[in-house]
Structure 1
Amino acid sequence: MSDDPKIDAVPIVEETVSLTTRKVASGRVRIATRTEEIDHVLPAELSSVEVDVVRVPVDRKIDSVPDVVTEGGLTIIPVVEERLVVTRELYLREEIHVRRIERTEAVEVEATTRRQTAQVERLPASPATFPNKDDQDDL
């Protein structure tokens, strides 16, 4: 075919496109935080137990050591001693009466908490803000 003088050659041309991107600052953001303290009054109940101790003299002869007895809010603790007589005998010297008195008191406890709030402000970009191209990559 290349021997035929009547055939003309037509060159084929192709266009190509390449696309590149670059980072450009389109704005800035300034964020400020503020801490505020909030006072609270919290209700609470405090309990206490008061103990009233009364020594009750008995001085009575007994055959065996009595047990500790609790009746309602009263606890009776026997205190015994041995006395030497011609024979050994037990005497109840005294009883210790312990009464529990419980009281509840409502109180208010003051407490302070902290809370932060943030304010966001958008700022326009300025060309002088990023003098180096490397600084723009950080955004």
Structure 2
Amino acid sequence: MSDNIDQTRTIPVIEEQPVIGRREVETDHVRVRTVVEEKHTDVVARLSREELLVERRKVEREVATPPAPVEEGDTLVVSVVEERLVVEKRLFVIEELVIRRVAHTEDVHIPTTLKTMRAIVEQDSVQP
């Protein structure tokens, strides 16, 4: 019996260990598309234009030399001269051209098309 007392018995202990892993799973699909929308509209633009008005004035004035053009604001006066034979040659202003600048402004409507791009996102579910 003394033999049995000296013998030792070993009992293994078993333990479970968790193993963590991951995998890719496709769950959804997304589709993106674009739509171009057109909107017809009138664009209002302001246009400016100028025109010249010419007024002729009769003048009978003797001068020694041709007068230079004179500008007064939006008005330009240009003298027209002629030579006349009188015992001696003299210059006479026979006419003046009065040129006046007149500005006009008007609104015009210009038809145009404006485009807008819009994105549409659609979701397609995938069954696991």
- Superposition TM-score, scaled by structure 2 size: 0.67
Return the alpha-carbon distance in structure 2 between the equivalents of residues 59 and 14 of structure 1: 131
User: Secondary structure at the residue paired with 2:24?
Assistant: coil
Q: Which residue of 2 aligns with 1:92?
A: 93
Letter in 2 for 1:113: L
Matched residue, 2:4 = none
Report the RMSD for the aligned CA atoms in angstroms: 3.6
Q: Give the C-alpha shift of residue 118 in structure 1.
A: 1.8
Larger % of strand: which? 2
- Following superposition, the deviation at residue 91 of structure 1 comes to 2.6
Match of 1:124 in 2: 125
Shift of the alpha carbon at 1:83? Answer: 5.7
Cα distance in 2 between the residues matched to 1:22 and 1:80: 103
Give per-residue Cα distances to partners, 1:75-131, cap 9 Å, x unaligned: 20123355676655333243221122222212222221111222211112267xxxx
Between the two proteins, the alignment pairs up a number of residues equal to 123
What is the identity, as a one-letter code, of the residue corresponding to 1:55?
R
- The residue that corresponds to 1:31 in the other structure is 32
Give the letter aligned to residue 89 of structure 1: R
Instruction: State how far apart, in whole Å, the 2-side matches of 1:56 and 1:30 are.
Output: 79
Equivalences for 1:75-114 in 2 at 5 Å?
A: 75-81=76-82, 87-114=88-115
Q: Which moved more, 1:109-118 or 1:80-89?
A: 80-89
For structure 2, which runs of at least 5 residues remain unmatched after alignment?
A: 1-6
**Cα distance 1:70–1:16, how it changes in 2: closer, same or farther (>3 A)?**
same
Deviations 1:30-67 (A, max 9, x none): 12221110122232222222212233343532023323
- 2 CA distance for matches of 1:32 and 1:24? 25
Choose 37-46 or 81-90, whichever is displaced more: 81-90
Q: Which runs of 5+ in 1 are unaligned?
A: 1-5, 128-139
The whole-number CA distance in structure 1 between the counterparts of 2:9 and 2:85 is: 150
- The 3 A distance-change label for structure 1 pair 78 and 8 is farther
